[in-house]
Amino acid sequence: MKARTLKPTKVNVITLGCSKNTFDSEVLMAQLKASDVAVEHQGTGGDHNVVVINTCGFIENAKQESIDMILNYAKAKDQGLVEKVYVTGCLSQRYGPELQAEIPQVDAWFGTRDLPRLLKTLKADYKHELVGERLLTTPAHYAYFKISEGCDRKCSFCAIPLMRGKHVSTPLDQLVQSARQLAANGTRELILIAQDLTYYGLDLYGKRNLNELLARLSDVEGIDWIRLHYAFPSGFPMEALDVMKERANICKYLDMPLQHGSSSVLKRMRRGITQEKTERLVDDIRERVPGIAIRTTLIAGFPGETEAEHEDGLRWIERMRFDRLGCFTYSHEEDTHAFTLPDDVPFEVKQERAHAMMELQGGISFELNQAKVGRTCRVLVDKAEGGFYHARTEHDSPEVDNDVLIPTAAGHLRIGDFAEVRITAAREHELEAVPVQG
Ligand code: SF4
């Protein structure tokens, strides 16, 4: 077998998990490119000799997916198909030492805040002047925009603070500079992400400062949509909604994981909020920003969850009529507080309850979508596929929300451009539309 060089010929970056990992991979790739290290993302060709796997360690399924990917490349290394395998991200942060013993083919393990060391290992320099720069892996017209790292909350089921550490806000000026760079490169939609978006600024400015950040980002020329993900309910900075309401380029959209509708379950989850307070908050948000679309995420089968608590949660979903809803089955994560509770809801029951929530939401989503038939709206065109343009309204985030399908035969639209369309048909999680002739 031909001896291989030490310097990477090409680095293949594999990203697993959430949009925050996507962001981190994009930062890594920009740094590598700036050091003239060839790089690709999710490459499947054979022309790379080094692999960096950016892993997820959130819940059981995600951990297994990361381990399978590592084992896949460990095998490729044994077969001489790649020379070096490096692992970074949340799973590595959480289980690095244990996994190191089990998978010796991995050349090194890095944590979630180890970029300079990883770059050094890849024969690249960490360039401060590049802070905020990214090699986008999303279509150029939208970008995930991480405004802070880590989380100070104590939700009993969550291992994220163990992997991502304490909350650290990115300075406002740095974020505005990054937004300008992205806009200059053609990005039109910023999708704001964090572990806890609403905590922004508390560490740096001694106050919640999401409202000021939104106003500054909204002033960046070329940014047409700003979208908010991962808001935390208690202590919600209502003043941020006023900025959302007054600024046309801030989507009337809010993703706010609420985790459960039953007060007793919320208490055991250590969420610091009750069902009543959640309902009041959602009512206030809808009053403050008329027409806002609210997305939430819930957990089925938390320890001790009774049939009555589950039913209470279902009645709450019926009342709340969220625009978008996602659901996970509870995953028993060691080193979290909930791990001290018995994981006593059988897996089948967890799945049944998750299914019941999604089925209920499917009906709500269908009704809400039906009401949009005949209306005209502005959409952002993401791609053309299967005879349709796939687009989104301001109420839809990429990959998780509804698609607007526009027949390509109905007229030419440009990917990455906005278009006016009229809704012609609706299903649970999809709309059909035709372009409105200008
Ligand atoms: S706010 Fe989110 S990331 Fe933070 S502990 Fe709670 S669930 Fe985890």
pLDDT in tens, 316-356: 999 999 999 999 999 999 999 999 999 999 999 999 999 99
Closest CA to 208 of 200, 216, 219: 200
To 5 degrees, how large is the angle CA 157–CA 63–CA 266?
15
Which residue type occupies 187?
A: T
- pLDDT in the model for residue 345: 98
**Average predicted confidence (pLDDT) for the chain:** 96
Are 324 and 366 in contact, with CB atoms under 8 Å apart? no
Mean pLDDT confidence for 221-242: 97
Residues contacting residue 268 through CB under 8 Å, at least 6 positions apart = 156, 302, 303, 304, 338, 341
Q: Taking the CB of residue 358, how many other CB atoms lie within 10 A of it?
A: 17
How many angstroms separate the CA atoms of 35 and 29, rounded?
10
320, 322, 326, 328: CA torsion to nearest 10: -10
Distance 412 CA to ligand 1 centre (A): 43
Distance 271 CA to ligand 1 centre (A): 9
* pLDDT of residue 2 exceeding 50: no
Residues contacting residue 299 through CB under 8 Å, at least 6 positions apart = 157, 259, 260, 269, 327, 328, 329, 330
Nearest CA to ligand 1 atom 6: 155
How many angstroms separate the CA atoms of 32 and 39, rounded?
7
Percent of the chain with pLDDT over 90: 95
* pLDDT of residue 3 exceeding 60: no
Closest CA to 142 of 40, 56, 26, 52: 26
Mean pLDDT confidence for 407-436: 96
φ/ψ region of 78 (left if φ > 0, alpha if ψ in -120 to 50, else beta) reads: alpha
Query: Which of 147, 152, 155 has the most ligand 1 atoms within 8 A of CB, as the residue to mutate?
Result: 155
| Ligand 1 atom with the shortest distance to the CA of 230 | 2
Distance 191 CA to ligand 1 centre (A): 19
How many angstroms separate the CA atoms of 419 and 34, rounded?
36
| Ligand 1 atom with the shortest distance to the CA of 158 | 8
* Cross-strand partners of 149: 168
Mean pLDDT confidence for 237-242: 98
- pLDDT in the model for residue 229: 98
| Ligand 1 atom with the shortest distance to the CA of 232 | 1
Are 22 and 15 in contact, with CB atoms under 8 Å apart? yes
Q: What is the CA radius of gyration of the chain?
A: 22
Tell me the pLDDT tens digit for each residue of 212-221.
Answer: 999 999 999 9
Mean pLDDT confidence for 129-134: 85
Query: Which of 19, 232, 337 has the most ligand 1 atoms within 8 A of CB, as the residue to mutate?
Result: 232
Strands 11-15 and 39-41: parallel
- pLDDT in the model for residue 7: 54
Altogether, the residues listed in the chain come to a count of: 438
Closest CA to 158 of 27, 337, 316: 337
Ligand 1: lining residues by beta carbon, under 6 Å: 151, 153, 155, 158, 160-161, 195-196, 232
- pLDDT in the model for residue 437: 73
Q: Taking the CB of residue 335, how many other CB atoms lie within 10 A of it?
A: 8
- pLDDT in the model for residue 4: 45
Backbone phi, psi, residue 358, to 5° = -70, -35
How many angstroms separate the CA atoms of 438 and 436, rounded?
6
